[in-house]
Amino acid sequence: MIFHTFTAAHLRAFTINVFIKMGCSTTDAELAADVLLKSDLRGIDSHGVARLSGYVRLWEKERINATPNIRIVHETATTATVDGDGGLGLVVAPFAMKVAIEKAAIYGSGWVAVKNSNHFGIAGYHALMAVEQDMIGISMTNASPLVAPTYANERLLGTNPMCYAFPAGKYPPVVVDMATAAAANGKLEIASRANQPIPDGWAQDKDGKGSTDPNELKSGGSLLPLGSDKDHGSHKGYGLSATVDILSAVLSGANYGPWVPPFVAFLDPPTDPVGEGIGHFLGAMRVDGFRPAADFKDHLDNWIERFKSAKTVDPDKHVIIPGEPEYAFEQKRSVSGIPLIDVVVEDLNVLADKLGIERLKV
Amino acid sequence: MIFHTFTAAHLRAFTINVFIKMGCSTTDAELAADVLLKSDLRGIDSHGVARLSGYVRLWEKERINATPNIRIVHETATTATVDGDGGLGLVVAPFAMKVAIEKAAIYGSGWVAVKNSNHFGIAGYHALMAVEQDMIGISMTNASPLVAPTYANERLLGTNPMCYAFPAGKYPPVVVDMATAAAANGKLEIASRANQPIPDGWAQDKDGKGSTDPNELKSGGSLLPLGSDKDHGSHKGYGLSATVDILSAVLSGANYGPWVPPFVAFLDPPTDPVGEGIGHFLGAMRVDGFRPAADFKDHLDNWIERFKSAKTVDPDKHVIIPGEPEYAFEQKRSVSGIPLIDVVVEDLNVLADKLGIERLKV
């Protein structure tokens, strides 16, 4: 594979141009670009600018509203439901997280369910907004149905990520940001490109039999929940995914389970929706609502140090703190740039030509 | 194995007598008995009256305070930290959940971190307290270190359960109540009693090598996080367990990681504590803080029906709704009684003789 490396600033300017061509306001285009770039900077290549043409295709099908009227439709002091009006999740979710943070600033915590939205990028971006305010951030979203619950031979759930982020003192934030499937779809795509089998326990074929074919999803197969099979706790991965689905969509009035509209524009949404768009769930809790923030950070630093210095099976490996690899990527790529594989660069330049904007400078 | 069956009322009366002999008030003894019995009724035999002598042994070692002054030590409108004063978790956690529910009733949500507590029974009991008020209930606790994080060859985390409970309409509540390890310790004990090997991926030996010996924990081995190994997402199980540990203990001021005092009385707590006792985290959110409760319940019923009727791999199995098996147990055992294996009955009657209370009537 051939990689081309770009500065974050160059990719950001390109991305802003794309969103402006879609009709987004400058403010929204900048915010959406920041969310996508955060993913590329943090090394989560599957959720960054590589998805840009996917968002454009949804907009072309009129499944994304570039000028949404995002608004609170129901609330109490510390809870709210936000209607994303079909906007980019990249813009809707930060709006909702801001509402959660504002409520938390006054009352200690804030919780926002979102309906009528679209793919929101990496969950970590939104949770980290709270961390910047010395709050604990929580973010979740449901997603296109790809995962079969334990015993099922149907795709009923998305890879439904959940994220918990905590502010530390001298260390980077602890960020648990994970799909509730055994492996996210992006990992199957990487194996497929490399012509490699996937491990047992990631997917099953259309008959519900375990498979190591990375292309299984294209022939009617399903991803498996975290835990992979009943013996290894797949009912727990399924339970977590169900939790994300219920908080994000049953609570907000979005589509849930198999009714979630697919991210890919070539698949139409179900014709019998049970809600509006896809759903998210965002939360913020002030650390000093529980104990002084400095005490919490001191102890989280101690937690981090103890886990990092743990005895390991392989002396060349250390126990990884959740969020540590992504932080290291962010430090490195902010300086040395973001590598994109040539097929992604080509895809983005085809998009540039179509929209009549400047190409990426390779 | 020989089972003896008892009515819930008989076991409850016995359990109350034990807690009163420990010096608990009648109110506390009744509450603690209710929490333990809920576990037996729901079929979670590992967390019910079978643990009674374990609590007594901790009390004998003065590691449980039978007359605690449980109190709020820090709070905002919707957050609080509770000091359990070394009391039974079975009493401390319901106190804290009541605080969360009261805050939620006024402000929409309530969140309580707890320090200086002990084992709180099943997480589901506490989360279901919120469900009775048409709220979503969340409960977590940290626990004795038995689990090695990904790459580690040390026990740094407990089986740290998390529970999310949701009120449905015509169906029982959806209750996701799960250890964040691949398998809870109770499952190894069952395999050990039956002289059966355990599946690969549940445990590793003292050198960090995978093992199928159910007695591995007794010879320096560790449980593994949900996901079992890195390829299958053990870093996710570890991340969830870390989340529970941080919310329960780093946030409240309890002990975390390897400093959590062991449940078994024959192991002393670490001599260099980083906090007080063990920690819990409890939350409640009003469903109608997001949408009318009737709408939520209608859609959750629809969610349940869709998942229950899903196409399955084995036509004799259906997709199980989280909480469904436990509810079925509760319905059945409320009528036909609770079976206890003879070794548990014997253990309880030895306890009865020691405390000078009436034996179980076999």
- Between the two ends of chain A, the Cα-to-Cα distance in Å is 16
pLDDT of residue A38: 98
* Interface residue A243 vs chain B (CB under 8 A): yes
Q: Is A152 close to B322, i.e. CB distance below 8 A?
A: no
Looking from the CA of A329 toward its CB, the CA atoms found within 13 Å total 16
CA distance B118 to B306: 39
**pLDDT tens, position by position, A200-251:** 999 999 999 999 999 999 999 999 999 999 999 999 999 999 999 999 999 9
- Fold for the domain defined by A1-67+326-362: Hypothetical Oxidoreductase Yiak; Chain: A, domain 1 (1.10.1530)
ipTM given for this complex: 0.98
Second-level CATH architecture of B183-223 = 2-Layer Sandwich (3.30)
pTM above 0.95, yes or no: yes
Please, what is the average pLDDT of chain A?
A: 97
Q: Is B300 close to A246, i.e. CB distance below 8 A?
A: yes
Give percent of chain A above pLDDT 90: 97
* Interface residue B252 vs chain A (CB under 8 A): yes
Local confidence band at B185 (pLDDT 50, 70, 90 cut-offs): confident
B261 touches B84 (CB < 8 A)? no
CA separation, residue B228 to residues A175, B153, B334 (Å):
20, 14, 36
Of B166, B231, B285, the CB nearest to A111: B285
Strands B109-117, B3-6: pairing kind: unpaired
Q: What are the domain boundaries of chain A?
A: 1-67+326-362, 68-182+224-292, 295-325
CA distance B162 to B247: 11
CA separation, residue A148 to residues A46, A142, A262, A274 (Å):
22, 14, 15, 20
State yes or no: pLDDT of B140 exceeds 90. Answer: yes
Looking from the CA of B223 toward its CB, the CA atoms found within 13 Å total 27
Question: CA nearest B236 in A: which residue?
Answer: A178
Domain A68-182+224-292 has CATH 3.30.1370.60: yes
The DSSP letter of residue B320 is P
Compute the 3-state secondary structure of chain B and give helix, strand, coil in percent, each to the nearest 5. 45, 20, 40
Q: Which two tokens stand for residue A199?
A: 């491990």
Q: CA B42: distance to chain centroid?
A: 12
CB atoms within 10 A of CB B342: 12
Give percent of chain B above pLDDT 90: 96
* Interface residue A203 vs chain B (CB under 8 A): no
| Secondary-structure class of domain B1-67+327-362 per CATH | mainly alpha
Q: Is B319 close to A182, i.e. CB distance below 8 A?
A: no
Interface of B with A in 41-70 (CB under 8 A): none
Residues of A in contact with B231 (CB under 8 A): 199, 201
Residues of B in contact with A289 (CB under 8 A): 74-76, 78-80, 111
* Interface residue B240 vs chain A (CB under 8 A): yes
Local confidence band at A88 (pLDDT 50, 70, 90 cut-offs): very high
Q: Which two tokens stand for residue B36?
A: 């333990």
* Interface residue B331 vs chain A (CB under 8 A): no
- H-state helical runs in A68-202: 89-107, 123-131, 185-193
* Interface residue A188 vs chain B (CB under 8 A): no
Q: Is A149 close to B319, i.e. CB distance below 8 A?
A: yes
Q: Is B111 close to A289, i.e. CB distance below 8 A?
A: yes
Q: Is B178 close to A239, i.e. CB distance below 8 A?
A: yes
State yes or no: pLDDT of B55 exceeds 90. Answer: yes
The DSSP letter of residue B5 is E
Nearest CA-CA distance, residue A320 and chain B, Å:
8
B166 touches B303 (CB < 8 A)? no
Interface of B with A in 120-159 (CB under 8 A): 136, 149-154, 156
Q: Is B233 close to A178, i.e. CB distance below 8 A?
A: yes
Please compute the mean of the pLDDT values over residues A349-361 and round it to a whole number. Answer: 97
pLDDT of residue B189: 86
The DSSP letter of residue B282 is E
The continuous run of DSSP H or E covering B326 comes out as helix B324-336
Q: Is A322 close to B239, i.e. CB distance below 8 A?
A: yes
State yes or no: pLDDT of B266 exceeds 90. Answer: yes
Second-level CATH architecture of B68-180+232-308 = 2-Layer Sandwich (3.30)
Q: Is B258 close to A306, i.e. CB distance below 8 A?
A: yes
Local confidence band at A194 (pLDDT 50, 70, 90 cut-offs): confident
